[in-house]
Amino acid sequence: MINIKFDYEKAFDCVSKKEIFDFQVQITQHFKAIKEKTGKGNNFLGWADLPSKTGKGLLKKIDNSAQKLQTLSEVNVVVGIGGSYLGARAVIEALSPHFNLLKRKLGNPVIVFAGNNISEDYLAELLQLLDEKEYTLTVISKSGTTTEPAIAFRILKNHIEKKYGKYAAKERIVIITDKVKGALKQLADEEGYETFVVPDDVGGRYSVLSPVGLLPIAVAGYNIWQLLEGSLEMENFTAVSAKIDESPVAAYAAVRNALYRKGKTIEIMVNFEPRLFYFTEWWKQLFGESEGKENKGIFPVGANFTTDLHSVGQYIQEGSRSLFETVLSVENSNSELLIPYDALNLDKLNYIAGKPIHEVNHMAELGTSIAHVDGGVPNLKLSIPEISEYNLGQIIYFYEMACAVSGYILDVNPFNQPGVEAYKRNMFALLGKPGFENETELIRKKL
């Protein structure tokens, strides 16, 4: 069953039904091109049937590897950046307790992340933590050559080999990379590390349902079978219908593109649950890197409500009118906590005494959406019944499909990221990397 509901009634002040349904012909073609792997960038459409093509054998292998890492570690360090990082973090943080002390109580290793920045302080503090903890490493890089994770792994490899000895350290390192290419694959072969493959035809930001996301999620103690089952349900559904009036995927792709054509060039993904913070980060990367090219694309930003209603809420209500927002709404919370009655009532909260906090959060959500629509910010709402592996699987596939279709509507290749190279070229030139001599000379003139 499809658990995602999409409500776009609150976009009608800005776009008409006709403007939305005008995308139907295109959308039908794009769904077909994705399913038949004939669209732009079609050598990177492997994500589209990952749920149906992932065999039980691979899932069991991932679970076995995860169990081994769990028994060896209090902390598992996941090294990776971009698509080799955000999907796993999004799911793990969405399912985990909010507080580190509670996380450890559950008995599974705490997952920490490295290689997603180049901060000296971050790595130095991580080493301090690892001095005192039993730990393992999961190193993820499809290319095997990305600078940030390469630096982190070089440092962590030294540390883990000093701590456990070279031989024992091998048992504590798992590599997820290309089947044959890249420095990481070569190193894994030379050292004899356990490896998992990032499929050739799956790009980083679409790889959360491959070992890239599945292994760290399993190490954290979550059910990757249910995650895949949820995504398979959505894969099957998108194979049957591309109709805007039936499919939330088709409707979301159509509405956001209709809004874009009306000058709404910024989409804010809003959550009212702090545990969805990194899910929003994953979504930002998925859409930003996929759509933002050839001077086109909706700029994706995230907002965490009600926290951010006390910061950027002012701008959303009354600033430049180039925004629309999409709320990822969670219908039920996992716990129940009622607001207590207080005899003194100095805070004047007795009018909501006895209500679950979730109800108050929902009224904040509804009140905010009405205020924002009144202020000229169209409001779209995606709902899931609760945060679970199964529902996250559905929403992940939902967004991947909607993103690819949106990219095709914009007539860009949603699976490349040529713009990411610019900063790397400059950084290599400034650091004097061999082979970048011309760039070094040119950039020095700019300083």
By CB under 6 A, name the binding residues for ligand PA5: 81-84, 141-143, 146, 149, 203-205, 289, 417
Shorter beta-carbon distance to ligand PA5: residue 143 or 241: 143
State the minimum distance, in angstroms, from the CB of residue 297 to ligand PA5: 15
Shorter beta-carbon distance to ligand PA5: residue 151 or 371: 151
Shorter beta-carbon distance to ligand PA5: residue 212 or 255: 212
Backbone angles phi, psi at 382, to 5 degrees: -105, 130
CA distances from 49 to 81, 179, 236, 237, 424 (A): 24, 19, 9, 12, 32
Shorter beta-carbon distance to ligand PA5: residue 157 or 205: 205
State the minimum distance, in angstroms, from the CB of residue 143 to ligand PA5: 3
Tell me, what DSSP letter sits at residue 356? B
State the minimum distance, in angstroms, from the CB of residue 358 to ligand PA5: 34
State the minimum distance, in angstroms, from the CB of residue 323 to ligand PA5: 25
Q: Which amino acids are annotated catalytic? A: 289, 310, 424
DSSP line for 84-104: GTHHHHHHHHHHS-SSHHHHH
3-state DSSP percent of the chain in helix, strand and coil, to 5: 55, 15, 30
Q: Is-contact 396 48, C-beta < 8 A?
A: no
Residue with the closest Cβ to ligand PA5?
Answer: 204
Alpha-carbon gap, residue 195 to 179, rounded angstroms: 9
Start-to-end CA span in the chain (Å): 58
Shorter beta-carbon distance to ligand PA5: residue 94 or 176: 176
State the minimum distance, in angstroms, from the CB of residue 52 to ligand PA5: 22
Tell me, what DSSP letter sits at residue 301? E
CB atoms within 10 A of CB 186: 13
Tell me, what DSSP letter sits at residue 329? E
State the minimum distance, in angstroms, from the CB of residue 336 to ligand PA5: 39
* CB neighbour list of residue 281: distance below 8 Å, 6 or more residues apart: 86, 89, 90, 302
- Three-state DSSP at 201 gives coil
Shorter beta-carbon distance to ligand PA5: residue 336 or 421: 421
